[in-house]
Amino acid sequence: MTNSEIEGKAAFDHIRYAQLWEDADILTAAMGDCSGRTLVSICSAGDNALAMLVLDPAKVVVVDLSPAQIACLKLRIAAYSTLTHAEFLELMGARASAQRKALLARVVAALDPETQAFWTALATDVARFGAGGVGKFERYFRIFRTWFLPLVHSRATRDDIFVPRDRQGRQDFFDTRFNTWRWRVLLNVFFSRFVMGRMGRDKAFFDHVDGSPAQHVARRIHHAAVQTVPSENPYLHWIIKGTHGAALPMAWRAENFDVIRERCARIEIRPGSLEAFIKTGELAHGFNLSDIFEYMSPPVFAQVYDSILGAAAPGARLVYWNMMAPRRVPAHLSARVTRLRKLEDDLKSRDKAFFYSDFVIEEVVG
């Protein structure tokens, strides 16, 4: 099998992630100096590829196996050029809105017919949830937020999660008001491998994972609630509230909106796996690899990693996350990269997208 091993196991005809659940702040900090250089990014919903434009690269080559995920990026590119920042937030679902259908109609008018038809078919859902709320993963959290969370925590408790506190205050709140026995039961049921496989992530994504997803989620919730500041966490706010609060993901912030809009032409979309870039013979100076290695068997991971090194310029950085399946440079290739351990540890402690157990930065030896 090649780096598209997952292609034969999971469906890619629907939106799996309608927004990025990986923190672009730590991603861009991990990339280093990228000015005037070529970067490669897994698409997912497109937010992090767009955030990478803030680094002033010559271009960002975006690849993805899923036409639905590429449609998410195309919608965003059109939205940056068509809408004001406030309208963009309404369309995406970060803010309440009564005009999303009208905003969507304005944006899709600039898209190719196929992508236009894709989003027009989703207009009713976009109007209800925002374009950033119509994926399978977001629907999973919507069910959790609407039907299950109120059974274990009152509205007052849910609101109080986002009251600013110091670290000891956050620990006390977690211990005395949040981490109740009802909460722990809910975690064990709703974040079980069975339920997550049916309603959240595709069950094929757990093929190379050991251990309990519920226990993993419990550890990461503690990190989000205590180690980081919930009031500054847009991802946690969406899970609990269904919109973003005062904090926004990097690509959605007002201070980055105009820069991204002006540089959207530097995005180059290449549908397919990473081979869509690697086979061209081009060299890149940075790779946002999301968590794609998690879905690969160790032998396929080693093969793919080797092929990426062949497309990496000296000094290029490979940046990726692990959720539950541990992946780092294969032992037989370790002499070809340097692990940036100090930077990893610093950024990992600040990761607001709290699902991931590890954040990896490996730099190609020059």
Domain boundary among 201, 221, 241: 241
* Average pLDDT of the segment spanning 284-300: 94
What is the pLDDT, as a whole number, of residue 324? Answer: 81
User: What's the structural domain count of the chain?
Assistant: 2
What is the pLDDT, as a whole number, of residue 191? Answer: 86
pTM of the shown model: 0.91
What is the pLDDT, as a whole number, of residue 194? Answer: 67
Residues 52 and 120 in one domain: yes
* Average pLDDT of the segment spanning 129-133: 98
Q: How far is CA 108 from CA 13, 63, 80, 148, 342, in A?
A: 19, 21, 12, 35, 44
Q: What is the DSSP letter of 44?
A: T
Residues 71 and 184 in one domain: no
Residues 160 and 183 in one domain: yes
Residues 129 and 13 in one domain: yes
Residues 230 and 319 in one domain: no
Sign, CA dihedral 144-147-150-153, equals negative
Instruction: Write the secondary structure of 63-114 as one string of H (helix), E (strand) and C (coil).
Output: EECCHHHHHHHHHHHHHHHHCCHHHHHHHHCCCCCCCHHHHHHHHHCCCCHH
Greater pLDDT, 355 or 45: 45
CA distance 115 to 97: 23
CA distance 165 to 349: 18
Task: State which H helix or E strand residue 41 sits in.
Answer: strand 38-42
C-alpha 197: how far from its chain's center? 18
Domain boundary among 241, 259, 290: 241
Domain that holds residue 157: 136-241
Residues 108 and 143 in one domain: no
* Average pLDDT of the segment spanning 237-260: 97
Residues 24 and 122 in one domain: yes
Q: What are phi and psi of 360, to 5 degrees?
A: -120, 130
Single-letter amino acid, residue 363: E
Model confidence at 147: pLDDT above 50: yes
CA distance 173 to 212: 25
Among 6-15, 290-299, 310-319, top mean pLDDT goes to: 310-319
Residues 12 and 129 in one domain: yes
What is the pLDDT, as a whole number, of residue 79? Answer: 98
Residue 121 tokens read as 């078919």
Which distant-in-sequence residues (6+ apart) come within 8 Å of 346 by Cβ?
A: none
Domain boundary among 241, 266, 282: 241
What is the pLDDT, as a whole number, of residue 7? Answer: 47
Residues 163 and 280 in one domain: no
The pLDDT tens digits for 109-126 are 999 999 999 999 999 999
Q: What is the DSSP letter of 122?
A: T
Q: Which of 257, 202, 291 is nearest to 20 (CA)?
A: 291
What is the pLDDT, as a whole number, of residue 208? Answer: 41
CA distance 99 to 121: 17
* Average pLDDT of the segment spanning 46-72: 98
Helix or strand or coil: residue 347?
helix
Residues 85 and 144 in one domain: no
Helix or strand or coil: residue 285?
strand
pLDDT level of residue 205 (50, 70, 90 thresholds)? very low
Helix or strand or coil: residue 186?
helix
